[in-house]
Amino acid sequence: MRLWRVAALAPVLAALVACGLAGPRTSTPPDPADGVRGGFDGVIRFGATVSDTGRYAQEGRDVRRGYDVWLDWVNGEHGGIRVGDRRLRAEIVYYDDESDPGQAAALTERLIVHDGAGFLLGPFSSGLNAAAGAIAERHRTLLVTGNGASDALFDRGSRYFFSVMTVASRYAESVLDVLATRGAETLVVAYQDADFPIDAGEGAAEHARRLGMRVLAVETYPRTLAGVAGIVAKFRDLDPDVLFVGGHFVDGLRFTRAAEEQGFEPEAMILTVAPSNPAFADELGDAAELVIGPTQWEASMRRPGDGAGAPGASFGTGADYAERYSARYGEAPTYHAAGATAAALALQLAIEAAGSTGTDAVRAALLDLDAETFYGPIDFDRRGRNWGKPMGAVQVQDGGLELVTPGAAATAELVYPRSRAGAER
């Protein structure tokens, strides 16, 4: 178990922790005097487990960065979280969950019981959010995530779990709609045996059937599978128009490499998670060309929002947010980072609307929230789903990412079929 840091503490302590020189710390509830000394009227402590290590380390880094962008903004430009006539400084206690559900659960318990976190921000992946959410539910502590999309998360009767993401079963809808109009007739599907990939993969197959496409094969694989050559060989022999893979970043790398090695060339390749991260094309080079990825958010997708009436609460446009993020980290934000920022923003807006830090009041405010933000609409239904937010899709074109759906926000036309495009280039 690794303690990452308490964000917004003294730079010296942060440096000691980063260097491994600070020993184990006994956490205590937030001291209101800390906020007063900083020019605020008190402190609100949030808690989050993030995946600094393990299979989700890439995505976990983006999640933590997204939370930190919000933290700097809310304590700086926004002047703290406004609760009635008080301005409260936000702080976040982070732990590394090591990409492990058991660790996520244990550390969530620690955040609530030992660290005094009044509110929780979710980790990356539906599995880790399910683990953390179960603990939050037991303690009646609100958890808002920007990186948990499995439909199963909302089938448990939870009262304290909210996600700003579009649910996984709808990930492929917009891009399959376009491909069907462009002549795609057959599909193969592979997905990892985990909540989010299952929902994304089954959702893709069901939507393809609704569009009149034929689903030639559906394959599942365990999380521990080191190679996907067997699945790719089977798919190659079926010669489908479209490949859809429900997985995470590493899965996208494996399927793309295996397809190149085995000469599997579907006319469209759709992979969840991986293509929307610039690291995908950077690592794979030409093999990534024309691969498509569903995306929760891109900088060009949204309109500026009014933050549910709170001036400046939405970070402006998606482009404004991307500029802010890039200035801090030297690279464009992924939708995982943007979702993390949006989750923290939603919780902040609910606290401010409630005029209280009481759980029941803030929960009611989350259910009433109707905000247009840099991330898009945030309007939760009674199950905690952000049901009205549409999905988009990106495609790797000439080594860069282009938004290809929805059409109104697209930066380029979706290239299909790949074989004809390759012949023309």
Instruction: Residue 31: give the domain boundaries.
Output: 2-166+299-378
Q: What is the pTM of this model?
A: 0.80
CA 413 to each of CA 100, 174, 196, 271: distance values in angstroms, whole numbers, following the listed order: 39, 14, 28, 18
- Mark whether 151 and 18 lie in a shared domain: yes
- Mark whether 332 and 229 lie in a shared domain: no
Q: What would the mean pLDDT of 292-311 be, rounded to a whole number?
A: 69
Q: What's the mean pLDDT when you consider all of the chain?
A: 89
Highest mean pLDDT among 16-25, 205-214, 388-397, 412-421: 205-214
Nearest Cα neighbor of 147 from 403, 394, 386, 400 is 386
Q: Which CATH number belongs to the domain containing residue 42 in this structure?
A: 3.40.50.2300
Q: What is the pLDDT of residue 304?
A: 47
- Mark whether 78 and 123 lie in a shared domain: yes
Percent of the chain scoring above 90 in pLDDT = 80
- Mark whether 159 and 244 lie in a shared domain: no
User: Which residue is listed with tokens 């795609």?
Assistant: 184
- Mark whether 216 and 147 lie in a shared domain: no
- Mark whether 127 and 250 lie in a shared domain: no
What is the tens place of the pLDDT at every residue in 35-92?
555 689 999 999 999 999 999 999 999 999 999 999 999 999 999 999 999 999 999 9
Q: What would the mean pLDDT of 189-194 be, rounded to a whole number?
A: 96
Q: What would the mean pLDDT of 293-320 be, rounded to a whole number?
A: 70
Q: What would the mean pLDDT of 369-396 be, rounded to a whole number?
A: 93
- Mark whether 288 and 180 lie in a shared domain: yes
- Mark whether 91 and 124 lie in a shared domain: yes
Q: What is the pLDDT of residue 308?
A: 42
Q: What would the mean pLDDT of 295-299 be, rounded to a whole number?
A: 92
Q: What is the pLDDT of residue 420?
A: 73
- Mark whether 212 and 275 lie in a shared domain: yes
Q: What is the pLDDT of residue 225?
A: 79
Q: What is the pLDDT of residue 16?
A: 30
Count how many domains the chain has.
2
Does residue 386 fall inside a structural domain? no
Give yes or no for residue 159 having a pLDDT over 80. yes
What is the tens place of the pLDDT at every residue in 87-135?
999 999 999 999 999 999 999 999 999 999 999 999 999 999 999 999 9
Does residue 365 fall inside a structural domain? yes
- Mark whether 230 and 369 lie in a shared domain: no
What are the structure tokens assigned to 246, written together?
């429900």
Q: What is the pLDDT of residue 201?
A: 98
Give yes or no for residue 25 having a pLDDT over 50. no
- Mark whether 47 and 127 lie in a shared domain: yes
Q: What is the pLDDT of residue 387?
A: 87
Q: Are 29 and 45 in contact (CB under 8 A)?
A: yes
Does residue 404 fall inside a structural domain? yes
Whether cis (ω within 30° of 0) applies to the bond prior to 406 is yes
- Mark whether 274 and 359 lie in a shared domain: no
